[in-house]
Amino acid sequence: MGLFDAIKKAFTGDVVESTNLKPKIEVVTLYPRITADTPFQPKIDKPLVKVERLMPNKLQVKPMVGDLESKVELDVSAVNSAEIMKADVSELNEIEHKEVLPGALASEPIEAGLTDQGDDQDTAVEKSAIQAQEVVTSESNMDEMTQTDETDLDQGLHKTKKSWSQRWNEFMSNFRRVDEDFFDDLEETLIKADVGAETAFKLTDELRNEVKLQNAKSKEAVSKVILQKLIDHYTEQGRDEDASMHFATSGPTVILFVGVNGVGKTTTIGKLAARYKHEGKKVLLAAADTFRAGATQQLQVWGERDGVEVIVGPPKSDPASVVYDGVKAAIAQEADILFVDTAGRLQNNVNLMQELSKMKRIIERELPDQPAEVLLVLDSTTGQNALQQAKLFKDSTDVTGIVLTKLDGTAKGGIVLPIRNELHLPVKWIGLGEQVGDLKPFDANDFAKSLFGPLLEL
């Protein structure tokens, strides 16, 4: 029985399997989705289901709403945790938001909460190693990597583009006249395209004026005005935005990567290290994710592939000590850049946030103007959830920019807009695949043109 079925059964009460075992840790809570009908519902205090771990390979799914007492047990010994967590979100129609409870991570990594620690973890490391080995860093790839041509962007944004043009065509096919209903529908279309409620309202207001101003009446004219406005909007946002990477004027530049589990921190470091090495810079990596078994090995595989040294510490050692060793090595070796990979941390986990502050203090003590960048890595496939994460991280640490990964695997690329509009954080890099060259500097104009241009025949 899959998790989806299990949750459904938990709700309908068809299967009632209670257990006397006391849950060891609470793992995942799924919250109701914010839908187009409820755009201003940021506070959702009632979770729908709670997934708890009973034993290494047993999960229990409990409904948290209504009067149902039913619970369902689920054997997950053979299932990869990341897959379960993704399935939670994509398979359930009425449920989207998930959050891992702080208590879960304080004692064990998220993955440990959902998988069998032993074999599965080894498998995960092996898988990562294989994936990294598949990454070819030959000279020709390096050359491709430094190009930022639009074909790559177009390919990478394929899913977002397809979904956007479908939504747009559907919306315009209902066009009768420009009236309030039209703008209501436009608002809904924008919200569904993941541009965020706040942004959708703002945009719709601007578009109301723009359509009037340009006296657009026909379907074609209205469509053109709106699409052009969207392109302008993306581009304008970029005008005061500093999406460049900052480097120390002398001595090593330290770049810290933060973000929750599995968003793509290590992969991004691997890609960036290859890029900067190719540009002639001396790069070092520090494996400060001592929390998750396998994280260090994963970074080491990237280090080997990229031909850059990785500073590591013993398992479960203080990540700050790895950072210290990394900074010392960077100074001693006169490295240009030190990339620091941190543990996947929850934005609401106080201990881990303190750990991050400690790392920053150590860096600042050894290199006063560093870290030059604290890059928050967000997984675009999580849509609005990525935005929530960004808000919370921004409140608790000095994030200097965003890396938005996995744009190739999602139709939710519109999330770029609220990240910039509502958080005023520059998106510096976008991940468009798992290969070493699949990381591009974010360019708002190119992005908007790639997304809306085909509809305007640009």
Positions in the binding site for ligand GTP (CB under 6 A): 131, 259, 261-267, 289, 292, 295, 298, 344, 377, 405-406, 408-409, 431-434, 438
CA nearest to 156, candidates 404, 422, 457: 404
Cβ distance 88 to 98 under 8 Å?
A: yes
* CA atoms of 456 and 453, how far apart (whole Å): 5
* CA atoms of 364 and 352, how far apart (whole Å): 18
Q: Name the minimum Å distance from CB 259 to ligand GTP.
A: 6
Does the annotation flag 293 for ligand binding? no
From start to end of 164-282, where are the E strands? 253-258
Does the annotation flag 259 for ligand binding? yes
Contact partners, residue 272, CB within 8 Å, separation at least 6: 255, 339, 429, 439
Which residue number, 71 or 440, has a Cβ lying nearer to ligand GTP?
Answer: 440
CA nearest to 434, candidates 16, 135, 43: 135
Does the annotation flag 406 for ligand binding? yes
Which residue number, 132 or 225, has a Cβ lying nearer to ligand GTP?
Answer: 132
The β-bridge relationship of strands 427-431 and 439-441 is antiparallel
First to last CA, the chain: 48
Does the annotation flag 428 for ligand binding? no
* CA atoms of 329 and 283, how far apart (whole Å): 11
Which residue number, 63 or 262, has a Cβ lying nearer to ligand GTP?
Answer: 262
Does the annotation flag 407 for ligand binding? yes
Q: Name the minimum Å distance from CB 6 to ligand GTP.
A: 25
Does the annotation flag 262 for ligand binding? yes
Which residue number, 101 or 222, has a Cβ lying nearer to ligand GTP?
Answer: 101
CA nearest to 421, candidates 206, 225, 196, 183: 196
Structure tokens at 130: 């294989």
Does the annotation flag 341 for ligand binding? yes
Q: What share of the chain is helix, strand, coil (3-state, %, to 5)?
A: 50, 15, 35
Which residue number, 259 or 414, has a Cβ lying nearer to ligand GTP?
Answer: 259
> What pairs with residue 283 in β-bridges?
337
CA nearest to 233, candidates 179, 196, 183, 182: 196
Q: Name the minimum Å distance from CB 113 to ligand GTP.
A: 13
DSSP 48: S
Which residue has the closest beta carbon to ligand GTP? 431
Does the annotation flag 307 for ligand binding? no
CA nearest to 270, candidates 295, 246, 311, 300: 300
Q: Name the minimum Å distance from CB 22 to ligand GTP.
A: 28
Q: Name the minimum Å distance from CB 451 to ligand GTP.
A: 17
Cβ distance 310 to 333 under 8 Å?
A: no
Does the annotation flag 345 for ligand binding? yes
Which residue number, 204 or 450, has a Cβ lying nearer to ligand GTP?
Answer: 450
Q: Name the minimum Å distance from CB 257 to ligand GTP.
A: 8
Which residue number, 10 or 359, has a Cβ lying nearer to ligand GTP?
Answer: 359
Q: Name the minimum Å distance from CB 303 to ligand GTP.
A: 13
Cβ distance 371 to 330 under 8 Å?
A: no
Which residue number, 131 or 388, has a Cβ lying nearer to ligand GTP?
Answer: 131
Q: Name the minimum Å distance from CB 16 to ligand GTP.
A: 35
Does the annotation flag 383 for ligand binding? no
CA nearest to 164, candidates 192, 186, 183: 192
Residue ranges of the annotated binding site for GTP are 259-266, 341-345, 405-408
Residue ranges of the annotated binding site are 259-266, 341-345, 405-408
